[in-house]
Structure formats: structure tokens, C-alpha cells
Amino acid sequence: MTDDRPLDVYSAAVVGVAELLTPRVAALHFRSGRGESAGSGVVMTAEGHVVTNAHVVGDATAGEAAFADGTVAQVEVVGRDPLSDLAVLRADRAVPDPPEYGDADDLRVGQLVVAVGNPLGLAGSVTAGVVSALGRSMPARDRTTARLIEDVIQTDASLNPGNSGGALADASGRVVGINTAVAGVGVGLAVPMNGTTGRILYSLLHDGRVRRAYLGLVTSPAPLTPAWTDRTGRRSALQVVEVVEGSPAAGSGLRRGDMVLAVDGRPLGDAGSLQSLLLGDAIGSRVEVTVLRNGALVDVVAEPVELVD
């Protein structure tokens, strides 16, 4: 006789997450001057706010949210941020209570995750898989600016376009990501729910937009020499590929070829870790940038300005 108890445990975990989250994930539909769009959204607050992808909302200012219990609400767009692919909506009536939100920074490769969506016309879509990779970056763009969405979660839980904006949850049903893209056959990507995302959602909820600081650096991760790896305990830093003319970075004396190691004492290793420091509270604040230049450590003081779309 074979022992299929591990499968039973796995199935029970997926069923439990599905039962917990399916009622809290809405099918969304929007119309704008550019046409129609659809996707999923997850209840975010007890006051009827819903989080989804900015690309699901598009240019629309309002739309419709349909829940599994039959509730159909009109939603207005409170704020959207294409550079994180997140948007916040507000329903015009009571909606199901929000699920518990977790911290994607606690995820580990190989961990079970469940993707829950609500594609228009279906009662719900649930797929399961594992975290395939962490720390991935995904490009995002608005009308004039491009950046990387940091620490994207890669999973083999199957996604389809209608699942965009839906929940990625751990085995306990905590939402750890918002599904955002299909990167290839059997590969899905999700925006992580973590400290940086929390600050973005707070800004969208309260201000309707996200203010970002601008230094004027174009950087790329690059390896450190063995000697500097031994000294710093890290294998990579951010190499300055370009310093934008007239930018705060140019005025501070940062140069092409500098290896950025830390900002205000916080170690950096990828482009995302720098971007996470460049939200609204950094605007107009003096920051100390530690760089490796010509074999020596140099501290440079810069004052970011507001990124204007």
C-alpha cells in the first residue's frame, strides 16, 4: 500500500487557501477611451479598498468589481502607480473582509504558494506551485519614466491574463504578492508585499499618487573583487553606468564607474535596493552615498529632488 498522506497535506493546504481567498478576490472590469480591460483585485481594507495592477486599470477612472458571493460594486480609482504596477480602488458598498497580508521578505525558494484570481466570467481560478526564484527585477514604465520593480517573486503556479491583480498567498493564506505577469510557459511573476510595497500602497491610499526622489544615476549590478568581497562581506555593488547631466548626482560629484556600496550606511547590491530608498521622504533630504572609486572608499553627499512625470 502506498502512503499518499503528503499529497493529502498538500491538497488540504491548497483547498484551505482557496476557501479563504476566493471570496476576497474580485473580477474587475474597466472601460476607458482606449477600450476595455479586465483582471482581478484583492480586498485590501475593511473600508472597501481593493488592490490590483495598474495595467489592469489602465486609464480608467472607475469600473466594476464582482465577488464570488454575488456582490457587484462600482469602484473608483483612488490612485495608480505604473512604476510599481499597483493601483488602489474604492468600492461603493460593503465588500468581503480583507485577507491577512504577509511579508514577501520571509519567503524561501521552494515554498508552496497559491495563486488566486477571479477572471471575468469565471467563479474563481486557483493554481498552486512553488516559489521558483526571489529577487528578480521586472521593468515597468509610465509615460516618461522607466524603473525596475524590485524583488519580484517568480513562481511556477500557472497564471493567465485574467489573474493579473489577483493574490499570491502562502500555505497559511497570507497574501504575499499581487500577480502581475506571465513571463513564459509555467512562469508567473508577482509584485511582493513587503515594506516598500506597503509604503507605495499607503501613498496611493492617502495621496492618490506616489512621490519619488530622483538622483540621476543609471546603475547596473557588478561583481566586487575578491579583496573587496572579503572586506565588505558582499559580492556585488551597483556600478554607475551613467550620471545624468544637471542631476543631483552630477552636482554631488558622483562619476561614471563608481561602485555604489551603501546609502546612509545601508548596503546596496542591486538596482531595486537603491530604488526602495528613493520614495517621497527622500526628496530634499541629504543622503550620504558610499562608493568605491579607484580602489578607495569615498563618501559623497547628494540631495535628491522630486521625480516629475
| Active-site annotation, residues | 55, 85, 164
Task: Give which of 160, 205, 212, 211 is closest to 187, Cα–Cα.
Answer: 160
Angle at 280 between CA 213 and CA 47, to 5 degrees: 145
Query: Which of 95, 79, 91 minimizes the C-alpha distance to 23?
Result: 95
What lies within 8 Å, CB to CB, of 67 at 6+ separation is 23, 24, 25, 26, 27, 73, 95, 96, 118
Residues in the chain: 309
Alpha-carbon span 192 to 212, nearest angstrom: 19
Cell of 53: 495592477
- Cβ(307)–Cβ(212) below 8 Å: yes
Among the listed residues 56, 209, 28, the one whose alpha carbon sits nearest the alpha carbon of residue 121: 28
Residue 263 has a CB neighbour count (10 Å cut-off) of: 21
